[in-house]
């Protein structure tokens, strides 16, 4: 009893830690600034063309606006500190706004600008505030400005939808999981397409066709052993054989999928065999008696009845594959890929690898991102396992 | 290119299916035929697609190598004088030049020429591949379609290819094992050519970093695996000290005491632990447990290092609990009811029965479960990669940081991989050792469990 309680306490402790440090990543602190899209600052005529607007130095526009908003800040160092309170994406934001609506030139507008990662951490309480300046992530002066923003109601927060759509970034406040989610989806697709047909076919052979001989015995022992081989060994296999011998491109979902499908095959074969075994022989005998060929018996009767069990096993295998990290590191899926992969031959990242990279990163802003990414992967895993349980519940038949 | 070809072949094969089926339908309208029309269709589709796709696969696998050989024969004699590593570098340059990668240019004229040759070979190869794959698909389709005859046994033909397919699928397990063993052995041999086997097995110093300049100290690196293995076993031991008692206790609880309702709720909850990715445990270990262990140690006056073996081992133990619990649960449930009833009939209490009858009866199975768990702990990568140390340290003190086999494999292979450098190759030697150890543990465990099951069946 104590054992169970201890184990469950460990799970709850783990989940609570992760949720408490991760939930805040779904919101981002913003600071409202009045931006004057002054043609003089932008060095363009009010009726500038699209091309001219693209050439504008938006960083300068942002800086000058900051100076106007804070005329009392004059020293260079102070100005730099002030600018550092905002995300480095601020100029890009202004560019997008102007390019989307050229009529803004000459107008004045209140813009919500993303705060920098350090300010974000202080606002959310993820980094301690009442400590010595040297150890705090922002300086005393920045803290005073932050309090002023807060008092005048300029601080806001917004749901961080970019987290799910954008790729990784070197600044924590801009980093997202979009690329990793797409990479993991492609990986799972390749894994499913390779391992499901082969796994089911192998199970059918071993369960229904295999003669009782040495070869079948060796195959069976092999499958059981493969199920227990450490995943990192599969990574070494992928590196030596798939990358170096066959020369497939490094770090792509295709290679990752091949390695992961070799890993999930034993799971799928074992589950599929159990599902085939559960189909009573009377069904086979009945169909054979009606004149069906063995393959017709298989495809028309046995496989449809065993399919729910096989799918359950496959989903559980895929859920394992989704969380697998070590083999993907071996085959080079750890590179910084800013783009969202569009095909199985693009360099890509994957959810667990992204978690590893963020966790290893020394910047403190990544801690909440890591925890949030873990929450995302856990949601996917729970969904997959629920699907498996539902499948089993819905189609389970006792003969 | 390949994608279009695959699509084209698949389209042809679909077309072949429908046309052969229609032909067979027409035949059937005028009299009985041996096989159902759809079997004729499937047969033609298979003939059209399978050989063509196999050619395509072989072509894409061997094309780069053949082209490289051809291009090398075109290179001037000064290329032959280059060392293996330099030659590879030049080939890489040629490849990226030929691919037209932006911003790459070479100062050597012959490299530019070779890139031109490379490109022309690639063009020829692409044309030849398209022509041969498509012509093969079309010829096979037309030939197979002539076989749509009244008495032709298309069903048998399709079933034969199906049987071949499922047989080959089941062989993949063997092929995978072979590929693992061969690739590990092959790369390990290369490693042992550079580092003597005895140094690896008995050396006490592990320091794979090789100095960039020749004159720096320890320029050759040290590859004594003992501290690495000692660290691995230390962490596995800590993990088993946590997981063994807790896992076994919860298995006994589930099998003997738990109310069915509690069991229905708590068992899936415990199995949830097994479904959590190990990278999550690693993050948990590094973020929460390691500082906690350190603070606790300092509070009671012990010096604990930031990446201690204790923290990594404890978290790994938590990960293994459900594994032991569910295996041991199965084993305890397999003890026949008659043993329990006999013990109760002799007047033993429930706890006496468990201690003196059930556990001894289930002991071989429990040992097997523990061995499987140990093999799991040794092979686990992410927890130790994130929470254990990176530097080898020969110690038995769990409060210090130690490194493991899996961590060293990750360290050796993340970053630049050079397959003539002992640092990269050492990963394969470690991998081979890891594979052999886990294989032995698994085989022993599976044999014990199997024999134990047979005993009560």
Q: What is the ipTM of this complex?
A: 0.84
Of A82-91, A130-139, B208-217, B316-325, the least confident? B208-217
Q: Check CB contact under 8 Å for B170 and A377.
A: no
Whether the Cβ atoms of residue A302 and residue A276 lie closer than 8 Å to each other: yes
- HSE-CB at B114 with a 13 A cutoff on CA atoms is 28
| pLDDT over 70 (residue B331) | yes
How close B245 comes to chain A (CA, Å)? 8
pLDDT of residue B418: 66
Q: Which residues of B touch A266 (CB under 8 A)?
A: 173
Mean pLDDT, rounded, for B7-22: 87
Mean pLDDT, rounded, for B373-399: 80
Using DSSP bridges, classify how beta strands A108-114 and A27-36 pair: parallel, antiparallel or unpaired: antiparallel
pLDDT band at A191 (very low <50, low <70, confident <90, very high): very high
Mean pLDDT, rounded, for B124-151: 85
Mean pLDDT, rounded, for A284-288: 90
Mean pLDDT, rounded, for B9-14: 88
Q: Which residues of A touch B430 (CB under 8 A)?
A: none
Q: Which of B173, B183, B351, B416 is the best residue to mutate to test the A interface, defined by the most A CB atoms within 10 Å of its own CB?
A: B173
Count of pairs with CB atoms under 8 A, one residue in A, one in B: 231
pLDDT band at B408 (very low <50, low <70, confident <90, very high): confident
Q: Which residues of A touch B381 (CB under 8 A)?
A: 230-232, 325-326
Q: Which residues of B touch A320 (CB under 8 A)?
A: 275
Q: Does B434 touch chain A (CB under 8 A)?
A: yes
Of B165, B248, B379, the CB nearest to A230: B379
Q: Which of A209, A211, A232, A299 is the best residue to mutate to test the B interface, defined by the most B CB atoms within 10 Å of its own CB?
A: A232
pLDDT band at B456 (very low <50, low <70, confident <90, very high): low
pLDDT band at B218 (very low <50, low <70, confident <90, very high): very low
DSSP A51-120: HHHHHS-HHHHHHHHHHHH-TT--SHHHHHHHHTTB-TTHHHHHHHHHHH-GGGTT-EEEEEEEBPHHHH
Structure tokens belonging to residue B153:
């046994």
Q: Check CB contact under 8 Å for B249 and A3.
A: yes
Of A8, A13, A223, the CB nearest to B269: A8
pLDDT tens figures, A192-225 = 999 999 999 999 988 888 888 888 888 888 888 8
Q: Residue A31 CA to chain centroid, in angstroms?
A: 28
pLDDT band at B345 (very low <50, low <70, confident <90, very high): very high
Mean pLDDT, rounded, for B238-250: 89
Structure tokens belonging to residue A380:
């996917």
Of A4, A10, A356, the CB nearest to B318: A10
Q: Which of residues 201-260 of B touch A (CB under 8 A)?
A: 245-250, 252-254, 257
pLDDT of residue B217: 46
**A205-244 burial, b if ≥16 CB within 10 A, otherwise e?**
bbbbebeeeeeeeebbebbbbbbbbbbbbbbbbbbbbbbe
| Nearest residue of chain A to residue B57 (CA atoms) | A246
Of A203-207, A227-231, B302-306, the least confident? B302-306
| pLDDT over 80 (residue A79) | no
| Nearest residue of chain A to residue B317 (CA atoms) | A7
Q: Which of residues 46-85 of B touch A (CB under 8 A)?
A: 61, 64-65
Q: Report how far residue A180's alpha carbon sits from residue A350's, in angstroms, rounded to the nearest whole number.
A: 4
Q: Which of B69, B96, B166 is the best residue to mutate to test the A interface, defined by the most A CB atoms within 10 Å of its own CB?
A: B166
pLDDT of residue B193: 80
How close B98 comes to chain A (CA, Å)? 17
Q: Report how far residue A354's alpha carbon sits from residue B309's, in angstroms, rounded to the nearest whole number.
A: 25
In 3D space, the residue among A114, A120, A150 whose CA is nearest the CA of residue A137 turns out to be A120
| pLDDT over 80 (residue B201) | no
Mean pLDDT, chain B, rounded, equals 81
Mean pLDDT, rounded, for B161-177: 87
Of A298-312, B31-45, B259-273, the least confident? B259-273
pLDDT tens figures, B23-47 = 888 888 888 888 888 888 888 888 8
Mean pLDDT, rounded, for B165-186: 88
Whether the Cβ atoms of residue B337 and residue B359 lie closer than 8 Å to each other: no
Q: Report how far residue A165's alpha carbon sits from residue A174's, in angstroms, rounded to the nearest whole number.
A: 11
Of A309-323, B140-154, B241-255, B339-353, the least confident? B140-154
Of B162, B252, B431, the CB nearest to A295: B162
| pLDDT over 80 (residue A74) | no
Q: Does B188 touch chain A (CB under 8 A)?
A: no
Instruction: Of A127-131, B203-207, B359-363, give the range with the top mean pLDDT.
Output: B359-363
Structure tokens belonging to residue B375:
């093999």
Residue found under tokens 């005859």: B149
Q: Does B360 touch chain A (CB under 8 A)?
A: no
pLDDT band at B6 (very low <50, low <70, confident <90, very high): confident
pLDDT of residue B103: 59
Q: Which residues of B touch A201 (CB under 8 A)?
A: 165-166, 169-170
pLDDT of residue A260: 92
pLDDT tens figures, A144-159 = 777 777 777 777 777 7
pLDDT of residue B210: 57
pLDDT of residue B420: 65
pLDDT of residue B104: 60
CB atoms within 10 A of CB A256: 32
Q: Which residues of B touch A302 (CB under 8 A)?
A: none
In chain A, pLDDT over 70 holds for what percent of residues? 97
How close B107 comes to chain A (CA, Å)? 27
Q: Which residues of A touch B67 (CB under 8 A)?
A: none
Of B158, B282, B321, the CB nearest to A359: B282
| pLDDT over 60 (residue A88) | yes
Mean pLDDT, rounded, for B410-423: 73
pLDDT tens figures, A33-63 = 777 777 777 777 767 777 777 777 777 777 7
Walk me through the domains of chain A, giving residue ranges and CATH numbers. Answer: 29-158 (no CATH), 178-395 (1.10.3720.10)
Q: Check CB contact under 8 Å for B434 and A233.
A: yes
Instruction: Of A67-76, B199-208, B383-392, give the range with the top mean pLDDT.
Output: B383-392
pLDDT of residue B30: 84
Q: How many helices (H) and strands (E) does chain B have?
A: 18, 2
Mean pLDDT, rounded, for B47-64: 84
Q: If residue B256 lies in a helix (H) or strand (E), which one and from where to where?
A: none
| pLDDT over 70 (residue B62) | yes
Q: Which residues of A touch B276 (CB under 8 A)?
A: 14, 323, 378, 381
**B207-235 burial, b if ≥16 CB within 10 A, otherwise e?**
ebeeeeeeeeeeeebbbbbbbbbbbbbbb
Q: Which residue has the higher pLDDT, B165 or A243?
A: B165
pLDDT tens figures, B81-114 = 666 667 777 777 777 777 666 556 666 667 777 7
Q: Which residues of A touch B158 (CB under 8 A)?
A: 295
Q: Which residue has the higher pLDDT, A31 or B280?
A: B280
DSSP B331-352: HHHTS-HHHHHHHHHTT--HHH
| pLDDT over 70 (residue A109) | yes
Residue found under tokens 């001037």: B76
Q: Give the three-state DSSP class for A378.
A: helix
Instruction: Of A97-106, A172-181, B36-45, give the range with the top mean pLDDT.
Output: B36-45
| pLDDT over 50 (residue B186) | yes
List, in sequence order, the alpha helices (H) in B302-421. 309-333, 337-345, 350-353, 359-379, 382-387, 405-413
Q: Check CB contact under 8 Å for A4 and B170.
A: no
Distances B431 to B184, B316, B414, B427 between C-alpha atoms, Å: 7, 20, 15, 6
Q: Give the three-state DSSP class for B223.
A: strand
Mean pLDDT, chain A, rounded, equals 81
Q: Which residue has the higher pLDDT, A194 or A177?
A: A194
Walk me through the domains of chain B, giving residue ranges and CATH numbers. Answer: 2-152 (no CATH), 222-456 (1.10.3720.10)
């Amino acid at each position: 009893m104590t054992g169970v309680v201890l184990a469950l306490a460990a799970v709850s402790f783990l989940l609570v830690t992760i949720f408490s440090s991760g939930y805040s990543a779904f919101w981002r602190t913003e600071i409202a600034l009045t931006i004057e899209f002054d043609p003089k600052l932008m060095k363009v005529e009010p009726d500038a063309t699209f091309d001219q607007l693209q050439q504008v130095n938006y960083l300068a526009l942002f800086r000058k606006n900051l100076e106007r908003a804070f005329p009392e800040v004059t020293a260079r160092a102070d100005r730099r500190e002030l600018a550092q309170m905002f995300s480095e994406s601020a100029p890009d934001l202004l560019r997008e706004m102007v390019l989307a609506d050229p009529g803004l030139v000459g107008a004045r507008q209140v813009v919500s600008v993303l705060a920098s990662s350090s300010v974000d951490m202080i606002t959310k309480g993820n980094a301690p505030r009442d400590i010595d300046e040297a150890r705090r992530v922002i300086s005393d002066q920045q803290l005073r400005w932050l309090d002023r923003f807060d008092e005048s109601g300029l601080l806001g927060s917004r749901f961080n939808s970019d987290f799910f759509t954008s790729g990784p970034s070197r600044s924590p406040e801009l980093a997202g999981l979009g690329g990793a989610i797409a990479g993991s989806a492609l990986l799972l697709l390749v894994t499913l397409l390779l391992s499901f047909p082969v796994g089911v076919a192998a199970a059918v052979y071993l369960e229904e066709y295999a003669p009782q001989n040495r070869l079948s015995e060796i195959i069976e022992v092999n499958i059981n052993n493969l199920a227990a081989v450490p995943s990192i060994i599969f990574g070494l296999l992928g590196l030596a054989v798939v990358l170096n011998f066959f020369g497939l491109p490094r770090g792509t979902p295709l290679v990752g999928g091949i390695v992961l499908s070799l890993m999930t095959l034993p799971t799928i074969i074992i589950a599929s065999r159990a599902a085939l075994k559960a189909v009573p022989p009377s069904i086979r005998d009945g169909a054979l008696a009606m004149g069906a060929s063995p393959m017709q018996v298989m495809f028309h009767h046995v496989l449809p009845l065993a399919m729910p069990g096989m799918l359950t096993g496959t989903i559980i295998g895929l859920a394992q594959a989704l969380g697998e990290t070590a083999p993907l590191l071996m085959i080079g899926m750890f590179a910084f890929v800013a783009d969202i992969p569009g095909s199985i031959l693009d360099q890509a990242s994957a959810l667990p690898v992204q978690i590893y990279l963020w966790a290893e990163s020394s910047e403190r802003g990544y801690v909440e991102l890591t925890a949030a990414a873990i929450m995302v992967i856990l949601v996917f895993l729970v969904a997959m396992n629920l699907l498996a349980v539902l499948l089993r519940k819905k189609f389970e038949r006792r003969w | 290119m390949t994608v279009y070809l695959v699509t084209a072949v698949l389209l042809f094969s679909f077309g072949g299916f429908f046309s052969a089926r229609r032909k067979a339908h027409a035949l059937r309208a005028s009299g009985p035929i041996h096989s159902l029309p759809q079997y004729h269709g499937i047969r033609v589709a298979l003939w059209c697609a399978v050989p063509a796709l196999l050619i395509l696969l072989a072509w894409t696998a061997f094309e780069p190598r053949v082209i490289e050989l051809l291009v090398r024969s075109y290179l001037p004699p000064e290329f032959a004088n280059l060392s293996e590593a330099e030659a590879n570098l030049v080939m890489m340059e040629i490849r990226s030049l030929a691919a037209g990668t932006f911003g790459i240019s070479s100062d050597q004229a012959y490299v530019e020429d070779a890139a031109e040759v490379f490109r022309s070979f690639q063009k020829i190869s692409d044309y030849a591949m398209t022509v041969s794959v498509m012509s093969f698909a079309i010829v096979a389709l037309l030939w197979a379609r002539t076989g749509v005859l009244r008495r032709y046994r298309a069903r048998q033909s399709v079933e034969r290819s199906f049987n071949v397919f499922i047989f080959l699928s089941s062989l993949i397990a063997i092929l995978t094992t072979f590929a693992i063993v061969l690739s590990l052995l092959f790369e390990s041999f290369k490693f042992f050519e550079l580092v003597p086997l005895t140094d690896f097995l008995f050396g006490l110093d592990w320091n794979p970093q090789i100095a960039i300049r020749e004159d720096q100290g320890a320029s050759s690196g040290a590859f004594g695996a003992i501290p690495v293995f000692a660290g691995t076993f230390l962490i596995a031991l800590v993990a088993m000290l946590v997981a063994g008692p807790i896992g076994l206790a919860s298995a006994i609880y589930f099998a003997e005491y738990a109310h069915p309702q509690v069991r229905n709720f708590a068992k899936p909850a415990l199995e949830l632990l097994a479904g959590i990715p190990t990278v999550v445990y690693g993050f948990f270990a590094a973020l929460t447990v390691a500082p906690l262990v350190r603070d606790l140690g300092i509070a009671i006056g012990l010096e604990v290092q930031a990446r201690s073996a204790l923290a990594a081992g404890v978290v790994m133990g938590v990960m293994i609990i459900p594994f032991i619990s569910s295996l041991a649960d199965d084993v305890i449930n397999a003890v026949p009811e008659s043993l329990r009833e006999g013990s109760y009939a002799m007047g033993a209490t429930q706890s006496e029965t468990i201690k003196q009858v059930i556990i001894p009866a289930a002991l071989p199975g429990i040992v097997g479960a523990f061995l499987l768990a140990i093999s799991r702990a040794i092979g686990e990568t992410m927890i130790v990669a994130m929470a254990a140390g990176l530097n080898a340290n020969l110690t038995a003190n769990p409060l210090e940081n130690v490194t493991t086999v899996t961590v060293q494999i990750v360290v050796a292979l993340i970053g630049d991989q050079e397959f003539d450098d002992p640092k990269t190759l050492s990963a394969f030697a470690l991998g081979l050792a890891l594979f052999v150890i886990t294989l032995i543990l698994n085989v022993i465990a599976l044999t014990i469990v199997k024999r134990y099951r047979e005993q009560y069946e």
